[in-house]
Amino acid sequence: MTGAGLGLSTPRVGGTDRVTGAQRFAADIAIEDVLHIALVHLDCGHAAIEEIHTSAATGIEGVVRVFTAEDFPNPVPRFGPRFADRPVIATGETKYHGEPLAAVVAVSKEAAADAAAAVRVEYKELPGVYSIDDALDPDSPLVMDPGLRTGDDPLADSNVRQRWDWGWGDVDSTEAELVIDEIYTFPMVTHFSIEPHTFAAAPEGGGVTVWSSIQHPYFLQGTLASLLDLPISKVRVHAPDPGGGFGGKGFPKYEPLVAMIALELGRPVRLVLTLEETFQAVRRTNARLQLRTGFARDGRLVFIDAIEDFMMGAYADIAPRVISKSSYFAAGPYKVESVRAVVRGLMSHTTPSTAFRGFGAPQMTWAIESQMDAAARALTIDPVEIRLLNLAGPGEEIVPGDRPADGDWRQALNIAAERVGWGEPLLPGHGRGISVGLKASATAGASYCILRILHDGSVSLIAGTSDMGQGARTILSQLVSENLGVPMERVTLVMGDTAVVPFDYSTSASRSTVFMGSAVVDACQKAIAELRGKTAVQHKVSVEDVVFTPGQISIDGAVYTLPEVLNDVFGAVPGEIIVTGSQRGEGDANHPLGGPASFYEVSCTASEVWVDFETGDFELVKHITVADVGKAINPQHVEMQDEGAAVMGLGHTLMEHLILDEHGRIVNLGALDYRIPTFKDMPATMESVLVENGDGPGPGGAKGSGEGGLLATSPAIAAALSQATGVVIKDLPLTPERVWEAMHGGDEGHEQ
Amino acid sequence: MSPTESAITLTVNGSRRTVRVSPSTTLLEMVRTRLELTGSKECCAEGECGACTMILDGEPVNSCLVLAVETDGSEVTTIEGIGGAGMTPLQESFLTAGAIQCGFCIPGMVVAATALLERIPRPTESEVREGLSGNLCRCGGYSRISAAVMAVAGGNAAT
């Protein structure tokens, strides 16, 4: 196999190991003499810990030790990507159902689990903040210790952790023919990576080595170095390819606990979360979005006046960024005269929410797009037409003064409409909906790589992206192959070890192809320059006379293959070309988000449904996603990702939501009770279409992709449902019960 | 060795193995830790996700729900036992169809699909979807996985 040019669907690098079971995920890696950790938590959301009795647990054969807050420095160290508010282990109280308050270490998983069950905790359940209404109620308890807030925070005496006020123009003086005023809710949903989060640690070389299923190993390395007061070089993070991440494995969770236990015991330890514990560890930020949207008679969007509440959870994690970055784009991909958005990030006694594919944009899109459909109905304008009228064209601004539209989004919308058969007659019980979603990509960050051309002309690329299913190894190998002319099978990727692999900011925001991809191209160019320079010296010609084309060098008509060139320049003593590549986004300190987005990820979804009027259940007859990707380096990979995102979007649209009881307990813990899409939930027809205009900042004009397919899923399906049934639903998920109740005049209400 | 452990003998991927297991050890745990075959994955640990699928005496099972002691005298095939030296046409088909994203569910999918094709050599697409509906894929690769299976069903394998 040779040739891996940009735009070719070469098979997945690493695919063979995945299909044969040879791929080693974090829990598959053998660690000699490893001890096993099981966590202890309480059966309620908010409680004061009074006494922890560990003697029964420590008496169980095989138990090494039980750790509680008392075994850690006082005060218990805290960490977090935005604020250092999360303790390594619960101290004094537990703030969410599942927060660990003790960790049992034993020689076997069985003994650890038995002992965890034998830890007896005296506790007092406390009133909890379990909903957005609770969080906004001044009589509710404060989730966060006001002492942890910095400076003179005027919000310290409330459960509002942070507030943002976005806007432009003057909403109050903007005239509108039609004002749609509605409230939309988006539920808590969990990532449900099939690989449960897995952590291990061992003391090593005066520092610590950690294994984690993490997406951002360098962030973890920095967190641990800071918590443990170690130089970064003494913290080694092994980050084997995650078995799904979707944002849930981005930032540190229980790694600090595991690392501190390993150092205290002087032995390797491992913690593999149960699936139930992963539900309690990560989720999407739920939201209530109240939008007053003004339209002119012709359908022009003239103002958005919004109050947007997002429930972050017990610790902030990265949720403030999720909220600010998504809500800043208050009108999504549309041009609008004036905006006023009051946005609040609320603390609650629930699982801390974190990044989740789409990073807040699915929540925003649900409200913005549902309003567009409401306006289309009220003004009797076609839903495609009202969107075409308002979408920003290439170069037009969506936030004044900020990065303008960088794609032909109307083209994408038109393709989606055409593919779904927009305007064609519908069968009874059928309906169609269409929607557009926008997500802003990374505003700053850096990616570095090392490229080695070995003396036989094969290539080793050392790059810190996490290949969590998006196919980073494939894309980066293709870039090397394309630029250097080295066959794919002679390129090897080295990833996932911070001791060896240079810094990469994160694997998130669909940034890897653009950032790390550009770093790889940079490295290739430097390698070519070095090859030409060395060849020129060897042949005693000027560099300009040495012509590189992929795979070969020619001098005055004589052609040399790469291995010949390397043999030539190094002679009898083998050597190699070693170069680094980098791509940095410096951001802009004066920008509200720390910098403009490096590109926009825009996706259009069009869906046709058939509704069973008897039951409220409905089937997806056709589901189309169109992604504006600039350039698909590997079209099959991009389509796989986009389809996968669409399927994930079906989850929060049709069935998924974490349900809390009055004690703040998640009552639907587990695969069957929670339910994610299965084979049987697939649309009868599903298509992914790519728009490639080469207008992105990445290699070949690529933009990032892979999140887009879920941005606009919910409003498209809800609109299709509305067309079929005549009812409008403003709360997700669109369960058969909810649909049936809406169709039969029930009070659909607003669940929180 | 704990006094409650007992020795069982079974055939795993064609090799006879004798293993000492405790009464509560699952087939999955035994295969992953005692036999060090880590291709079978653990996710839900309660028979709801299919990541641990193995073939036990000809039938696909959630190995997290089977006690190791029950498999004494049985024949077990894990993902490592599918294909022998090379890959099966089904495995090749997963690769070409683009059915693999993160890959964590894939060993279970391959084993379940292998068992499905043994039971129904020429399945319809809906039989494939039904037959694999106990295997969850959060990357959402269902369409391509079912296409990969259909491509080799009934000896459709491109040769």
Pairing relationship of beta strands A491-494 and A207-212 according to DSSP bridges:
unpaired
Per the CB < 8 Å rule, is A671 touching B80? Answer: no
Chain B residues 36-95 with CB within 8 Å of chain A: 36-46, 48-49, 51, 78-80, 82-83, 87, 91, 94-95
Could you tell me the sign of the dihedral formed by the alpha carbons of A715, A720, A723, A728, in that order? Answer: negative
- Based on the fold, state whether residues A96 and A229 are members of the same structural domain: yes
Chain A 614-643, residues with CB within 8 Å of chain B CB atoms: 636-637, 639-641, 643
| Å between A88 CA and nearest CA of chain B | 25
Extract the residue ranges of chain A whose pLDDT is less than 70. 1-4, 746-752
State the smallest CA–CA distance between residue A627 and chain B in angstroms: 17
B residues 16-35 closer than 8 Å to A (CB): 22, 24-25, 29, 32
- Kindly state the tokens that stand for B94: 């997963």
Does residue A575 sit in helix, strand or coil? coil
Tokens 């998130």, located at residue? A508
Q: Running DSSP on this structure, what letter comes out for residue A371?
A: H
Does residue A366 sit in helix, strand or coil? helix
Q: What is the DSSP string of A729-743?
A: --BS---HHHHHHHH
A420 closest CA partner among A161, A609, A567, A240: A609
Task: Please tell me the distance from the alpha carbon of residue A293 to that of residue A322, in angstroms, as a whole number.
Answer: 23
CATH number at residue A226: 3.90.1170.50
Q: Are residues A579 and A687 both part of a single domain?
A: no
| Residue carrying structure tokens 């090799």 | B15
Of A391, A484, A495, A502, nearest in space to A437 by CA:
A391
Q: Which of A220, A249, A272 is the last residue of a domain?
A: A272
Tally of helices (H runs) and strands (E runs) in chain B: 5, 5
Q: Is the dihedral of CA A460, A465, A468, A474 positive or negative?
A: negative
Select from A181, A353, A18 the least CA-distant residue to B92.
Answer: A18
Return the amino acid letter for A571.
G
Closest residue by Cα to residue A479 from A491, A467, A468: A491
**Which secondary structure element, helix H or strand E, spans residue A121, and what is its range?**
strand A120-125
Q: Is A367 helix (H, G, I), strand (E, B) or coil?
A: helix
d(CA A580, CA A519): 8
**Of A272, A297, A332, which closes a domain?**
A272
Contact B101 A644 (CB under 8 A): yes
Give, in order, the Cα–Cα distances in Å from A142 to each of A136, A314, A487, B139: 10, 10, 60, 37
| pLDDT for the residue A183 | 98
| B60 upstream amide cis, omega within 30 of 0 | no
Helix (H) or strand (E) holding A55: helix A55-58
Q: Do residue A299 and residue A229 come from a single domain?
A: no
Query: CATH no. for residue A294?
Result: 3.30.365.10
Q: Of chain B residues 121-150, which have a CB less than 8 A from chain A?
A: 128-130, 132-146
Q: Is B1 on the interface with A (CB under 8 A)?
A: no
Backbone angles phi, psi at A189, to 5 degrees: -135, 155
* Contact yes or no for A679 and B130 at CB 8 A: yes
Q: What's the rounded Cα separation, in Å, for the pair B91 and B108?
A: 12
Is A569 a domain residue? yes
Q: Determine how β-strand B75-77 pairs with β-strand B6-12.
A: parallel
Contact by Cβ (8 Å): A321, A312: no
What's residue A311's pLDDT?
98
Is residue A464 domain-shared with residue A523, that is, in the same domain? yes
Contacts of B45 in chain A (CB under 8 A): 274-275
Q: Which residue in B138, B145, B152 has the most chain A C-beta atoms within 10 A of its own C-beta, making it the best mutation to test that interface?
A: B138
**Chain-centroid distance, C-alpha A87:** 23
Same domain, A260 and A300: no
Strands A491-494 and B6-12: unpaired
List C-alpha distances in Å: B84 to A21, A728, B52, B97.
12, 55, 19, 21
Return the pLDDT at A54: 98
A368 and A449 in a single domain? The answer is no
Write out the CATH class of domain B6-81. Answer: alpha beta
The reported pLDDT for the residue numbered A245 is: 97
Q: Where are the domains of chain B?
A: 6-81, 89-155
Is there a single domain that holds both residue A654 and residue A725? Answer: yes
In chain B, the residue whose alpha carbon lies closest to the alpha carbon of A648 is B140
Which helix (H) or strand (E) covers residue A362, if one does? helix A361-379
Is residue A618, in this structure, part of any structural domain at all? yes
In the prediction, which pLDDT does A750 show?
43
Q: How far is CA B150 from the centre of its chain?
A: 18
Give the pLDDT confidence score for residue A647 in this predicted structure. 98
For the four alpha carbons of B44, B49, B53 and B56, in that order, the dihedral sign comes to: positive
Please write the tens of the pLDDT for every residue from B7-58: 999 999 999 999 999 999 999 999 999 999 999 999 999 999 999 999 999 9
Within an 8 Å CB–CB cutoff, is residue A63 touching chain B?
A: no
Residue A651 DSSP label: I
Q: What is the pLDDT of residue A5?
A: 73
Please tell me which residue of chain A has the smallest CA distance to B41: A195
Q: Which percentage of chain A shows pLDDT scores above 90?
A: 97
A122 and A111 Cβ atoms separated by less than 8 Å:
no
Q: How far is B105 from chain A (nearest CA, A)?
A: 7
A461 and A431 in a common domain: no
3-state helix, strand, coil in chain A (%, to 5): 30, 25, 45
Per CATH, is B89-155 categorized as 1.10.150.120?
A: yes
Nearest to B95 among A15, A468, A645 (CB): A15
Q: Is the distance from CB of A226 to CB of A208 less than 8 angstroms?
A: no
What integer pLDDT is reported at residue B3 of this predicted model? 60
Same domain, A256 and A327: no
Does residue A202 sit in helix, strand or coil?
strand
Tokens of A232: 């970064």
Number of domains in chain A: 3
Measure B87 CA to nearest chain A CA, in Å: 7
Query: If you search the block for the tokens 């509680």, which residue do you land on?
Result: A68
Q: Do residues A555 and A632 share a domain?
A: no
The pTM (predicted TM-score) of the whole model is: 0.97
Scanning A243-262 for CB atoms below 8 A from B yields 243-246
Give the pLDDT band (50/70/90) at residue B84. Answer: confident
Same domain, A436 and A469: no
Asked whether residue A226 is domain-assigned, the answer is yes
Q: What is the pLDDT of residue A50?
A: 98
Residue whose pair of structure tokens reads 């973890």 in the numeric block: A220
Residue A396 forms part of a structural domain: no
* Cα B52 to Cα A222, B5, B98, distances in angstroms: 35, 23, 22
Q: What residues of chain B lie within 8 A of the CB of A636, using their CB?
A: 98
Query: In terms of domains, do A596 and A726 share one?
Result: yes
In-domain check, residue A181: no
Q: How far is B2 from chain A (nearest CA, A)?
A: 10
Instruction: Report H helices in chain B.
Output: 27-29, 89-96, 106-119, 125-131, 142-152
A200 min Cα distance to partner chain B (Å)? 16
Domain around A545: 15-22+445-585
pLDDT of residue A355: 98
Is pLDDT of B155 > 70?
no
A323 assigned to some structural domain? yes
Residue written as tokens 């993490």? A214
CA A717 vs. chain centroid, Å, equals: 22
Collect all residues with Cβ–Cβ distance below 8 Å to A215 and sequence separation of at least 6. A239, A242, A245, A247, A249, A250, A466, A468, A506, A507, A508
A469/B82 CB distance under 8 A:
no
Please give the Cα distance from A475 to A491 (Å, whole number): 12
**Among candidate residues A256, A581, A274, the one with its CA nearest the CA of residue A447:** A581
**Distance separating alpha carbons of residues A642 and A416, to the nearest angstrom:** 14
